[in-house]
Amino acid sequence: MASFLTASNATVPERKAEGLALLHRMWSRRSTPPRHLTEPGPTDEEIRMLVRAASRAPDHLHLSPFRFMVIHPDARDALADVFVAADRELDPAIMGEQLDRTREKAHHAPVLLAVISRVQANDTVPEIEQRASAGAALGYVLLGADLLGYGAMAVSGRRLTTAVMRSAFGLADNEDLLCFIGIGTAGKSRGVQSEPDADLLQTWLPGSRQTI
Ligand SMILES: Cc1cc2nc3c(=O)[nH]c(=O)nc-3n(C[C@H](O)[C@H](O)[C@H](O)COP(=O)(O)O)c2cc1C
């Protein structure tokens, strides 16, 4: 079957039909918790494609306010050590089963992608825009993973803000670890979300408040 994405001679109705199919994928996408993601995960080439999609997130003045780091498959034990050290930084008394659970999280999902948000001082592009850009990039990766047939989910937690994690990921002062994205094969789907709240979209008309 011809792909409209690559067929430059696709007609407008053909492109729209494909767009509607993609939109349907967008609004039916659900997250799958990393502990439920199994092999196979995306290949290196597919990971590059996801990051390429993310690179098309809106980015005012091309400040590149985000970057990604894929956790090397051989680095899961090292990541578990970092998670444990981070949790100890947050709570020096933590021990036992809690630390076992922490350690497990570093082994969830075949692929773990760290999302790093970066903010540069800029007179034209305020911080909120740069953070929004990183959020859009994250969304593109989640959607792209879904389009490739994988399950994925963004996960974070307080440990991401610790000095231990910042140091382990070599973050500059203007960078933050936004989240990890776990990507892999999802077992059962969580089902389509219900319709969004009517309040999600309103019409701006001074003096009135209406939805369309
Ligand atoms: C940056 C970021 C970090 C998140 N961290 C967590 C997390 O640590 N734990 C969690 O349960 N959900 C977290 N979420 C929310 C989930 O990724 C997901 O969006 C939510 O469970 C809704 O599921 P759905 O995508 O199927 O609607 C995070 C979302 C974002 C954007």
Which domains, and CATH codes, for the chain? 31-187 (3.40.109.10)
Q: What's the pLDDT band for 1 if we cut at 50, 70, 90?
A: very low
- What percent of the chain is modeled with pLDDT above 90? 85
- What percent of the chain is modeled with pLDDT above 70? 94
Nearest residue to 63 (alpha-carbon basis) of 174, 166, 143: 174
Residue pair 184/196 in contact by the 8 Å Cβ criterion: no
Residue pair 106/76 in contact by the 8 Å Cβ criterion: yes
Mean pLDDT of 47-64: 98
Instruction: Enumerate helices (H) and strands (E) in the chain, giving the number of each.
Output: 6, 7
Q: Which residue has the higher pLDDT, 22 or 187?
A: 22
Ligand 1 centroid – CA 152 distance (Å)? 10
Ligand 1 centroid – CA 79 distance (Å)? 20
- DSSP track, 81-130: HHHHHHHHHH-TT--THHHHHHHHHTT-SSEEEEEEEE----SSS-HHHH
Please indicate whether residue 43, judged by its CB atom, sits closer than 6 Å to ligand 1. no
Give nearest CA residue, ligand 1 atom 11.
155
Mean pLDDT of 160-179: 98
Mean pLDDT of 154-169: 98
Supply the angle between the helices 44-54 and 127-147 in degrees, to the nearest 10.
140
pLDDT digits (tens, 9 = 90+) for 99-129: 999 999 999 999 999 999 999 999 999 999 9
Give nearest CA residue, ligand 1 atom 4.
155
* CA–CA separation, 83 and 151 (whole Å): 23
